[in-house]
Amino acid sequence: MKVSVVIFPGSNCDRDVKWAFELCCNADAEMIWHAEKSLPSDTDIVVLPGGFSYGDYLRCGAMAAKSPIMKSVAEFAQRGGLVIGICNGFHILTEAKLLPGALLPNASTKFICRSCQIKIERNDTPFTQLYEKNEIVNFPIAHHDGLFYLDDDSLTKLEESGCVVFRYADNPNGSLKAIAGITNKEGNVLGLMPHPERVVHPLLGGEGGVRFFKGLSKWVKEMR
Amino acid sequence: MMAKNLYGLKEGEYLKIKEALGREPNETELLLFSVMWSEHCSYKSSRKLLSLFPTTGKYVYRGPGENAGIVDIGSGLGIAFKIESHNHPSAVEPVQGAATGVGGIIRDILAVGARPIASMDCLFFGPPEERRTKFLREGVIRGIGSYGNAVGVPTVGGMTYYDPAYSGNPLVNAMCAGLVELDKVVSATAAKPGNILVLVGSKTGRDGIAGAAFASAELDESVKESKPQVQMGDPFAEKLLIECCLEILDKGLIVSMQDMGAAGITSSSVELAAKAKAGAEIYLDNVPLREEGMKPYEIALSESQERMLLAIDETNFGEVRAIANKWGLECAIIGKIIDEDRYVLTHKGEIVADLSASFLASSPETDWPVHKPDEFGVSYPKVEGAALDRSDPSKVVDFLASLPQFEDKSWIYEQYDHMVQTRTTLGPGNPVAILYIKEADKLIALAAASDPWTCAADPFAGGVETVAMAIRKLAVAGAYPLGMTDCLNFPSPEVPENFWIISEVVKGMALACKELNCPIVSGNVSLYNESHEGAILPTPVVCAVGAFDGMHFLKAKGPELSDRLFLVGKEASLQASAYRRYVEGKISGPADPVNFDDERAFIERAIKTAALKLATCGRCVSLGGLALAAIKMASGSKFGLEIKAGDVRFLFGEGGPRALYSVPEAKTSEFLKVWDGFPVKEIGKAREDKNVRFA
């Protein structure tokens, strides 16, 4: 499986997610500089990692969404390729209009970093197929702007179309409907605030994220 | 005769400069000396004392003298680490002061070629109920978080201590550790004549020119108005700088490197030149500037953040520039290493300074007079616990536990990303931080310690206790020490009583480092920590790095229901304890006599206890004594603890080699065998509810 991890200036979870893919499913994970115009042709999965792209000095993800590589990422998504945006990567996907909604500052207005109980809403997606439906897993969060927001009508549509994949058990940031992660309608683009790549080793606070990566590997194998 | 403005230089220093030059120094030159010979850059008051520290040992790869010390963890890897103060800037502007403190220490680690992997912050404030403390604390926390989180270096631990002595002069000590491949270590001494000096990073502005050296100097009024006193941090630029420098290093293009901290271009380039026993020419016109009309000394001394100075072969400049451009950073040739002992600044076709590089880099030592104070200790006029019924120990325990000093600090550290880089095995809220070094499949531990109260009551014993406490924390977790970094925060050395205290504290620390086999590999000194509200307590802060033989460590929380509780170690002293401070309102010496045989016996048994998995959890008895150790052990756990209460000394005595262990019934006999020959007392057991009871 070939994973392309995009590095934007200010990304800081790029190496973590690469390591998680390598550790959990022996994937071939390649770092792709944001200024590149195209993704490697054998890419199976694109990851937009967490961090502070462009320092988050403008709206989180707004600058990165205009990076040269994003055109290629959008085309890849349109062709049905799997795209994952974690934390700042989720911001970038919403700014690039590959996902609906926006992520506002946490209700507490403070940065929050801690382990977090996340409910698996759907397990019929490429990202969650190895989890049980309604299972509670521990994925840590670390963000200042994680309050998922969408206007009422769109939110209802989002829920009805089953695009909510992850929900907070205790809603630490005040997200509408406690939404922690969503997909697009087609189900191939995922954005989530929690960090599954931080829980893939028993020495690092648990292995709750291992099935996220193993599930992706299985999915890609079966699609081939 | 009109007094000449010496910009903080002493008259004697000025005369020495004049004699060496054989002429009057011009204003730019005088300013260079005033900064390079300032306490902050030169350690002129503390150098002799610092030479007492042991600096070599089995695991030391690089000792003091480089930007950071490095210890060898095997597998061709090293941990580079250092602690540094940013006290005065944080007192003026807490957010930026703390942020640039974090940024500065990260660049020190980067300068030896290491990837920064963890930070710790040791903070000292006035009483938390004071408005000023609230303002400072909130700002410092925001500064640390906003910088550390964005730059992607996890904040894995630290400490927050309160005492009225820090009301006017808070302390912000930032420690950073980095991971380095030993065959790629960059030395500050490696530059060669002919190497070009390349500045990589942000543009240079007028920020921070009025550093400590200028505090008493009268600068041009127009400059003063336009110049903020504290530098501004840009974590985004720092993140780019880290990745850029590591990429240049990876390509093998760096000969030598320096971060630009205090005194900017001058300090970094003089050090590069002097350490290489050479000289340097600096072309100030080539420095990318943020502002127009900057004077030569402003360019040379600016403390603009997020800049590094690289010495490279001239032929490699194209490649270096291409990498810097990729990361969107400025990159300019601003000088050259030359084969003579000269330090020459040129500006607009003129030589504006022409000095001996070695002379500029070697400030004269200052030896302050010492005088032993008549008495030791601190009185606290306002004591909340004065009205307590001291005959009821549980009331005293409840009172102490309710103090902000002992509150759960998660509200602070949850504002810091303590997990990024996915190495944090044990994060903040624990006596030690433990990091998983994936590259070597090993664990390392970081332990910070400080005991200003024992230092105030009994300086020598306080120095010993500070060092020993960090090593004990490592040992209880199961780690043996590889090396230590220290930050010496003290008031003015010019007061003879102060300098006596500084000397005794350092002697105590040095002896403990020697006796407990933990060399000092890096450090920092911060003097003149005083305000109109008074002087700080003598506050050495240390951070030790430890290693484990296996992959097992002992946690400090979470007793199991079947556990029996053991206290190991002799009765401890109340003299400088939190009990005395908060309940009786006075701490005083002397502390218990130091016994290194006991320390070594403790360390050896503690490491064995962890390695053989003989306890469920364990922790040293430190601030707040046994009572607070028990409460912290049970906090957030499934079960509580029940302890047979003793007298106040038993409950609240602090310091010395002493620890509380929660031991599974089945392991008890083996545990006792390991601790044979050391004082051990069974003092209670785990209980079903979550409470801690003293009955």
Per residue in B37-52, pLDDT tens?
988 888 888 999 999 9
The identity of residue B274, as a single letter, is A
Query: How distant, in Å, are the alpha carbons of A24, A221, B125, B199 from that of A216?
Result: 10, 9, 49, 44
Residue B211 has pLDDT above 80, yes or no: no
Say if the Cβ atoms of A9 and B328 lie within 8 Å. Answer: yes
What the block records as the tokens of A123 is 């397990």
Q: B366 to chain A, minimum CA–CA distance in Å? A: 44
What is the spatial order of strands in the sheet that B279-283 belongs to?
A: B256-259, B307-312, B196-201, B330-338, B279-283, B343-347, B350-355
Closest CB to B235: pick one of A55, A140, A144: A55
Count how many residues are written for chain A.
224
Helix axes B459-477, B496-515, angle to 10 degrees: 30
| Cβ–Cβ < 8 Å for B220, B294 | no
| Longest Cα–Cα distance in chain A | 45
The CB density around residue B643, as the number of other CB atoms within 10 Å, is 23
Instruction: Tell me what pLDDT residue B434 has.
Output: 98
The answer to whether the Cβ–Cβ distance between A198 and B421 falls below 8 Å is no
Which chain A residues are closer than 8 Å to B236 by Cβ?
9-10, 52, 54-55, 57
Which pLDDT value is given to residue B5?
79
> Is A87 designated active site?
yes
Kindly report, residue by residue over B140-199, the tens digit of the pLDDT.
999 999 999 999 999 999 999 999 999 999 999 999 999 999 999 999 999 999 999 999
| pLDDT of B230 above 90 | no
Inform me whether the pLDDT recorded for A146 exceeds 90. yes
DSSP element (H, E) containing B579: helix B578-579
Q: B21-30, B59-68, B118-127, B391-400 — which is least confidently predicted? A: B391-400
- Residue B655: left if φ>0, alpha if ψ -120 to 50, beta else—which one? left
CB contact under 8 A, B417 and A55: no
- SS3 state at B221: helix
- Considering only CB atoms, B152 lies closest to which of A12, A56, A205, namely A12
Structure tokens at B624: 């707040």
pLDDT at B382: 81
If interface means Cβ-Cβ distance under 8 Å, which residues of chain A face chain B?
9-10, 12-13, 15-16, 19-20, 33, 35, 50-52, 54-57, 110-114, 140, 142, 144, 195, 197-198, 200-201, 203-205
Chain A nearest-CA residue for B326:
A35
Query: What pLDDT does residue B365 have?
Result: 87
CA–CA dist B451, B513 (Å, integer): 16
What is the pLDDT, as a whole number, of residue B7?
Answer: 83
Q: Report pLDDT digits (tens) over B288-317.
A: 999 999 999 999 999 999 999 999 999 999
* Rounded Cα gap, residues A201 and A24, in angstroms: 9
Average pLDDT over residues B20-43: 91
As a 3-state breakdown, chain B gives helix, strand, coil percent values, each rounded to 5, of 35, 25, 40
Q: Both tokens of residue B322? A: 């291409």
CA distance B97 to chain A (A): 19
Average pLDDT, integer, range A22-51: 97
**B53 and B510 in contact (C-beta within 8 Å)?**
yes
Residue A86: closest CA among A138, A46, A56, A137? A46
Name the pLDDT band for B8 (thresholds 50, 70, 90).
confident
Distance of CA B246 to the CA centre of its chain: 24
Which residues of chain B does A205 touch, with a Cβ-Cβ cutoff of 8 Å? 419, 424
| CA B111 – CA B641 distance, rounded (Å) | 48
Q: What is the pLDDT of residue B227?
A: 44
**Count of alpha carbons within 13 angstroms of residue B64, beta-carbon side:** 19
Does residue B417 sit at the A interface (CB-CB below 8 Å)?
A: yes
> Which of the two residues, B166 and B636, has the higher pLDDT score?
B166
Task: Answer positive or negative: Cα dihedral of B149, B153, B156, B161.
Answer: negative
Question: Which residues in chain A are closer than 8 Å to B438, comparing Cβ atoms?
Answer: 19
Measure B552 CA to nearest chain A CA, in Å: 10
Contacts of B454 (CB under 8 A, 6+ apart): B461, B462, B465, B466, B575, B576, B591, B654, B655
pLDDT category of residue B3 using cuts at 50, 70 and 90 = low
> How far, rounded to the nearest angstrom, does the alpha carbon of residue B358 sit from its chain's CA centroid?
28
pLDDT for residue B42: 83
Taking CB atoms and an 8 Å cutoff, what residues of chain B touch A144? 149
Q: Does any CB of chain A come closer than 8 Å to the CB of residue B322? A: no
Q: Does A12 contact B239 at a Cβ distance shorter than 8 Å? A: yes
Interface touch B419/A195, C-beta < 8 Å: yes
Whether the per-residue pLDDT at B18 is higher than 90: the answer is yes
Do residues A140 and A115 lie in contact, with contact meaning Cβ atoms separated by under 8 Å?
A: yes
Please determine, for residue B132, whether its predicted confidence score (pLDDT) is greater than 70: yes
**What percentage of chain B exceeds 70 in pLDDT?**
96
Over the stretch B195-205, which tens digit does the pLDDT of each residue have?
999 999 999 99
Is A139 in contact with A116 (CB distance < 8 Å)? yes
Pairing type for strands B115-125 and B60-62 reads unpaired
Q: Which residues of A44-68 are buried (b: 16+ CB within 10 A; e: fewer)?
A: bbbbbbbbbbbbbeebbbbbbbebe
Neighbours of B181 (CB within 10 A): 16
Element (H, E) at A158: helix A152-160
d(CA B392, CA B415): 38
In the DSSP assignment, the letter for residue A64 is G
CATH T-level assignment (fold) for domain A2-223: Rossmann fold (3.40.50)
B554-695 CATH: 3.90.650.10
pLDDT value for B157: 97
What average pLDDT does this structure show over B399-428? 96
Give CA angle at B290 (B285, B291), nearest 5°: 80
pLDDT value at residue B261: 80
Can B86 be counted among the known catalytic residues?
A: yes
Q: Give the model's pLDDT for residue B214.
A: 45
Assess whether pLDDT exceeds 50 at residue B220: no
Catalytic residue, chosen from A24, A25, A87, A116, is A87
Residue B324 Cα, gap to closest chain A Cα (Å): 12
Output the CA torsion B75→B77→B83→B86 (10° steps): -150
Element spanning B525, H or E? strand B520-526
Could you give the residue ranges of the DSSP H alpha helices within B380-488? Answer: 393-401, 410-413, 452-457, 459-477
Show residues of chain B in contact with A12, CB under 8 Å.
150-152, 239, 420-421
In residues, how long is chain B?
695
User: Are the Cβ atoms of A205 and B149 closer than 8 angstroms?
Assistant: no
Instruction: Identify the residue whose tokens are 């070009």.
Output: B196
Residue in chain A lying closest to B233 (CA)? A55
CA atoms within 13 A on the CB side of A36: 16
3-state secondary structure B91-157: HHCHHHHHHHHHHHHHHHHHHCCCEEEEEEEEEEECCCCCHHHHHHHHHHHHHHHHHHHHHCCCEEE
CA distance B332 to B324: 10
Asked if B508 and B463 count as a contact pair (C-beta separation under 8 A), the reply is: yes
Is A214 in a helix, a strand, or coil? helix
CA distance B547 to B436: 11
Mean pLDDT to the nearest integer, A8-17 = 98
Q: What is the pLDDT of residues A70-109, one digit of tens each?
A: 999 999 999 999 999 999 999 999 999 999 999 999 999 9
Dig out the tokens for B458 from the structure.
Answer: 């009994």
pLDDT at B405: 95
How is chain A split into domains, by residue range? 2-223
Tell me the CA distances in angstroms from B214 to B148, B219, B537, one per residue in order.
29, 8, 25
Task: List, in order, residues 6 or more apart from B83 with CB less than 8 Å away.
Answer: B105, B120, B122, B173, B174, B175, B485, B486, B487, B522, B523, B524, B541, B542, B543
Of B609 and B263, more confident:
B609
Q: Which of B137, B202, B414, B422 to mutate to test the interface with A (most CBs of A within 10 A)?
A: B422
Q: What is residue B262's predicted lDDT score, i.e. its pLDDT?
A: 80
Q: Give the A:B interface size as CB pairs under 8 Å.
A: 88
For residue B229, name the pLDDT band (cuts at 50, 70, 90): low
What is the rounded distance in angstroms from the CA atom of residue B77 to the CA atom of residue B449?
25
